[in-house]
Amino acid sequence: MNETPISRGFKPKRSQGNSDPRIPPGQHLTTDFPILSAGPTPNIKVADWKLALQLGGRLLGTWTWDEFEALPQTTIKVDIHCVTTWSKLDTSWRGVTFDDLFKAVGLSQPPEPYVMAHCDGGYTTNVPVADLMSGKSMIATRFEGLPIAPAHGGPARLLVPHLYFWKSGKWVRRLRFMPGDERGFWEARGYHNYGDPWKEQRYDGD
């Protein structure tokens, strides 16, 4: 674009601006926790909850709620970034890292390079396995020390904090290893396939 893009008369509110080096470009700080979902919030009882890990047609492992709670638990404090431009700093989550989850089924290294997360309500999202490993990501069951509220993805959700938050699928029930990349729900509907907030990968082609 040749012309100057300054918006006449626009004065930023510095309190919301991205002068903080922890806030990616185009994002603004929120202290709230906005909710975004494509459909109704499912009502999931932990007694009925199960998580499955799948490779091809084979189940590598399944966990009931109690079995999942018995896995090593990790607490991490991270910043999260939603594609709708809010960022939230220093959020605390507890759950099971993918390293520990894969270890629990005897995998010393991931068998395929991609994972599709399948969630209640039909939502899916695809993540490269490399982005799940080394303690970067987890399946979280607690937010700020409390069970995750249903509207925020409880009882269990993905947490992939270094990617836009739609990758952190709510109500996760099944993880499927994939030999090749496939697009999940939003990724097939115009959103970026990878979603790095520091590169502003919001939509396809960004």
Helix (H, G, I), strand (E, B), or coil: what is residue 13?
A: coil
Q: How far is the CB of 37 from another protein (least distance, A)?
A: 6
CB of 166 to another protein, least distance (A): 11
Closest approach of another protein to the CB of residue 147, in Å: 17
Longest CA–CA separation in the chain, Å: 60
Q: Residue 39 in contact with residue 121, Cβ under 8 Å?
A: yes
Among residues 17 and 147, whose Cβ is nearest to another protein? 17
Which residues form the interface with another protein (CB under 8 A)?
A: 1, 3, 5-13, 16-18, 25-26, 28, 30, 32, 34-43, 84-86, 121-122, 151, 183, 185-186, 188-190, 202-206
Toward another protein, which CB reaches closer, 28 or 174? 28
Q: How far is the CB of 3 from another protein (least distance, A)?
A: 8
**146-147/124-128 β-pairing:** unpaired
Considering beta carbons, is residue 95 or 184 the nearer one to another protein?
A: 184
Strand order across the beta sheet in which 172-178 lies: 58-64, 50-55, 172-178, 114-119, 124-128
Min CB(18)–another protein separation in Å: 7
**Amino acid letter, 199:** K
Instruction: Compare residues 28 and 173 and give the one whose CB is closer to another protein.
Output: 28
Using DSSP's 3-state secondary structure scheme, residue 63 falls into strand
Residue with Cβ nearer another protein (87 or 137): 87
Whether omega for the bond prior to residue 155 falls within 30 degrees of 0, making it cis, is: yes
Q: What is the C-alpha separation between 14 and 20, in angstroms, rounded?
A: 10
